[in-house]
Amino acid sequence: MDAPPEISLDEENILAEQSAEEDHHWIRRVKLGNVRAFDFLIRKYQRRLYSVVYNMIANKVDAADLTQEILVKAFRGIHTFKGESHFYTWLYRIALNTTFSFIKKSKKTSHYSLENWDDAEVQANILSHSNDLEMGDRATLLKELQEKLNEALQKLSLNHRTVVVLFEIEGMSHTEIAQMLHCSEGTVRSRLHYAKEQLKQLLKDYLKDYEA
């Protein structure tokens, strides 16, 4: 299969601008009273929001509830969105604040409930990184790896976990993260560095050539 064509930085910027314009168009319609227009925004962002929340709390049931709560909050407050920043920055800020308060509230009662990880992409990835393993071993390893990875992420502090989730898993830039968290880019970079060091230490048995 052919690899997808690479997108240059300029093209990426153009796409981002188009996406922002599209968002503003739908937001204007919602503000004018067209409730159905919010559906477009829901479909566009629900998966990304779910992913952030899920990776922050490692519980799929709570993540679904929280994502819904975030979208309802966004709908309630859409009239206060002035368009000074990107809509997704605003939305992610609501998501992070809601998730933070949830984590603080349920600190002592947290438990994991993980998503299925038997996706073809993961299978292929694991296969390419563990040629000498049999099928049965691979499935066990897959489960173990997922658990360890989530456990390691949950061991990070809230600030460090947020930066890792947004940068490494969601693929956001340092600037975007800094805007969302109201801190400098330097702070984001240093948090990311520290968090990665901690993760490497926690996952050293699964990583190649890692020496503490």
Which residues sit at the interface with other proteins, rule CB under 8 A?
35, 38, 42, 46-47, 50-51, 54-55, 60, 64, 67-68, 71-72, 75-76, 114-117, 119, 121-122, 125-126, 129-130, 133, 137, 141, 144-146, 149, 164, 168-169, 196, 199-200, 203, 205-208, 210
In the bound complex, what is the minimum distance in angstroms from residue 191's beta carbon to other proteins?
15
Cα–chain-centroid distance for residue 137? 29
For other proteins, the closer CB: 17 or 144: 144
Nearest of 67, 141, 74, 134 to residue 99 by alpha carbon: 67
Q: What H or E segment, with its residue span, contains residue 139?
A: helix 135-155
For other proteins, the closer CB: 60 or 174: 60
For other proteins, the closer CB: 20 or 169: 169
For other proteins, the closer CB: 75 or 194: 75
In the bound complex, what is the minimum distance in angstroms from residue 168's beta carbon to other proteins?
4
In the bound complex, what is the minimum distance in angstroms from residue 8's beta carbon to other proteins?
21
Q: Which two three-digit tokens encode residue 144?
A: 């173990």
3-state class (DSSP) for residue 113: strand
Q: What is the DSSP string of 39-106?
A: HHHHHHHHHHHHHHHHHHH-BHHHHHHHHHHHHHHHHHHGGG--SSS-HHHHHHHHHHHHHHHHHHHT
